[in-house]
Amino acid sequence: MKIPVRTLLIAPGVLLLAAGVLLPAALAVRVSLSGRDPARFDAVAGWTLAHHAEVVAEPAGRALVARTLLVAGLSASVALAVALPLALALAAWRGRAARLGVGLLMLPKLVSVLVVAVGFLWLLGADGPVNRALLTLGAIGEAFPFTNHLIGVVLVEAYLLVPLLTLVLLDARRRIDPTLVPAARGLGASAWAAFRGVTWPLLWPGVRLAWALGFAWGCGAVVGPTFFGRPEDWTLAVEAQRQLFDRLHLQRGAAAAVWLLPAAGCVALLTRGPR
């Protein structure tokens, strides 16, 4: 039997994705439904909903879910507030300036999140420039604990989202027919009226998509809550790591991680509907 060339080209990729994404996701679900053998932290035996019940039925678990959604929602909104004007401005750039601008924009995504965290720990620290500037301006009476507060968590997570959201919005802006705004201006519309009446309605699906993607990625937030949050700022992703590494409870860690799936799945709902 002759196997088509296209199948031969695609099959290794499908295999890697099946073994590297689908199978691990299925295994995480299976482990989360498994009983615990105190002798072996990774033993998978029997079936139970107890670990999921801890996430959805107990107050501490529900608080984790609520905090995950809060951190994701705030981070996506702050990132969008920065990314939208940045994308609109960058969309007008051409040539070397545009390439350099996008290069600088992508730098935070090319370096390790740990490198970024080190920089932020100094920037937002008690003796860091942000606190010193706020003290000098008289906005605060004493150093604000950004490195141990929800604000620090959201700032760091939003920072990590800005490049990707800007790229999504940049793409959405560049897809708008460039002749439409000049046509509106030619018919007497002011710059603001042309933006509000022409650009914004066409950009809106992209804005929704960017926020939803930011929200989904924000649901998996680990770096911000781990290094810049108090225990009450920890999210489901941090809980998954903590259960696994600090408590050697793989099943409970898996249950926390599995609950990230419906949280991230909100994207599908948020991006549906009339545009």
Partner 1 sequence: MTRTLVWLTLAALALPALLTLPLALSPGPVLAMPAGELSLRWLREVLSVTPWPRSLGTTVWVAALAALVAMAVGVPMAIGLEGRAFRGRALLSLLVALPLAVPGVLLGVGMLALFQTLGVWGSPAALGLALAVPALPVVVLLTRQALREVPPDLALAARGLGATPTRAALAVTLPLVAPTIAGAAGLAFLLALNEAIVTQFLARPPDSETLAKVVWPKLRYSLSPAVAAASAVLLLVTLVGVGVALLGRAALSGRHPRQSS
Classify the phi-psi angles of 265: left when phi > 0, otherwise alpha if psi is within -120 to 50, otherwise beta. Answer: alpha
Compute the least distance from the CB of residue 267 to partner 1, in Å: 8
Residue placing its CB nearer to partner 1 in the complex, 189 or 222: 222
Compute the least distance from the CB of residue 239 to partner 1, in Å: 9
Residue placing its CB nearer to partner 1 in the complex, 141 or 268: 268
Residue with tokens 């009983």: 35
Compute the least distance from the CB of residue 162 to partner 1, in Å: 6
Task: Report, in this order, helix, strand and coil percent for the chain, each rounded to 5.
Answer: 75, 5, 20
Compute the least distance from the CB of residue 188 to partner 1, in Å: 25
Compute the least distance from the CB of residue 187 to partner 1, in Å: 26
β-pair partners for 37: 40
Report the C-alpha gap between 246 and 160 in whole angstroms.
26
| Number of C-beta neighbours around residue 78 at 10 A | 19
Q: Which DSSP state fits 3?
A: P
**Are the CB atoms for 33 and 47 separated by under 8 Å?**
yes
Residue with tokens 């599995």: 258
**Are the CB atoms for 163 and 108 separated by under 8 Å?**
yes
Residue placing its CB nearer to partner 1 in the complex, 32 or 184: 32
Compute the least distance from the CB of residue 253 to partner 1, in Å: 6
Residue placing its CB nearer to partner 1 in the complex, 41 or 50: 41
Q: What are the distances in angstroms from CA 254 to CA 13, 78, 203, 206, 245? A: 26, 29, 38, 33, 12
Residue placing its CB nearer to partner 1 in the complex, 150 or 229: 229
Residue placing its CB nearer to partner 1 in the complex, 150 or 158: 158
